[in-house]
Structure 1
């Protein structure tokens, strides 16, 4: 049986060069970066060099990068500091954010009795920027806007420059969950001055369990994990040295081959769209995922004309790995919170599948998926 992996938005295969970097560091650089002996100091030096190299990709300073266990921790660190440390009393977000943002905001609302506002969305999940501006201007409270750069389920782009400008002109802080964007799109914090963003290595062919928060210079950050002074006091815990070095290597390769990989993956996605339209009458693409200009080249969210309750299971039996919504909700019977937020109720009950691509996918794999979809649905 073939194995066709089309769930790269959930996690991506680790590049061989990254595996080599990780395993080499495990055997050669095993010291604790907080130790004062030579072996520890060597590990510390490598971590700090990685921090500088990662920061350069975003035109950021090394001291603006805080290593975390992934994007969810980075989101939590940033949002919790906004309320407990930076004086934010109003959070503005959308109902289609990742749960790392949504659940954290809801917890903060309960714990601190802050104001929370949700920006309006249209039926394609496109943000109402006029409504965002109204929310920013409705009172004088200290505000933070938290909106993801690329939606993890429907691939929609945020007009990050427009949001940044709105936040700047209204003296609001701006945080973006950029987990689906980092390693796939360029981001220059000098050109688009976001205050905070979150990233995760396993979304760009790096290891799981490591990521980082970008925190603009000038914002003091208190830790949410206590027990040590690592990460300049922003995060307690011995640094994940081999994970950080693997992330550094994965990010280097991602940006080295960015245009080449983007063009290749676009061709795969566009071919899949063409074959789906040819093979299935009444198929719809959720959000803006069909558009080259409004969504990520790596994500396609497909809604079939009716409910096929066993479709994911049957695809899995054929060796085809995909997600119904986001992988973070696999096994949930609640459906996708993103699709529930933007689709009419009768459309929510139809089967939707997220296909997400990488440079390892091929046209032959797409043909295999189309062939099996036809067999299962008929």
Structure 2
């Protein structure tokens, strides 16, 4: 079937009539095309921080679980994912299966010795980090560094992080950095990484520099909010104070980042997969305009990852809703149709 969709296309709300010519949108009528949906059109949702493929931290990559996780993303309207860290090198069909989301990934995480989940990622000395990161980025375009981990751990030093960024950028790649402590955020921003993942306890004074350099923030807000109530009930400890204090301050950081001009990306981080609508609603709950929260999970994220929106020549992805989802973000859970690579997959 040759797919045709029409309606008001976000972000501008202009009326469009689009035909899928293979995996590209065109406004030129394509013989035999069938109108499959009409309404409000998004260029396809994006989950910019997701780790599919394993049931629990430390478990090896499981292809059956990976497929199931990715199908949940599609059911939620996600047509593109970025996975800054995977349980292992993914199979060849990852990102290429016509029924599953497009994907970019950073391969397994890269961490300092003694940090991160046992069984996952690669451990490296400071001298080895730039070499490992550059080799990974050369293969897949991205490398993911764990800048900091548990309370009391030493973060990756700024000069080492700078060497990582220089090595990765030299091969044309990009660097994503896990940071949930102030020192890790300091090192990441000073080095000019491409995205800060989580960013809990990030010094708001860094935000103008991030905006100027094009460093994105993926706050994974909903996963912190879902754990906050239980964390408040735990016995007092340094870890509790770290998590509760950081999670409580995180919404204000997101708002300040957006006001400073930092690109905000919507990412869900943890299981269960397919929760992008909850993350977009969480972003809106901080005080972001629904338009901007939706951008973080759609057109702005696609632009950051190099994909244009609903214009001729763009990849033929779209999610169609009966009404403007900006007026009621719960509509994200009820798409009329999901179009992926020019075919209706839901």
More strand by share: 2
Query: Quick check: which has more Rg, 1 or 2?
Result: 1
Between 1 and 2, higher relative CO (CA 8 Å, sep ≥ 6) is seen in 1
Could you tell me the TM-score, scaled by structure 2's length? 0.32
Could you tell me the TM-score, scaled by structure 1's length? 0.30
More helix by share: 1
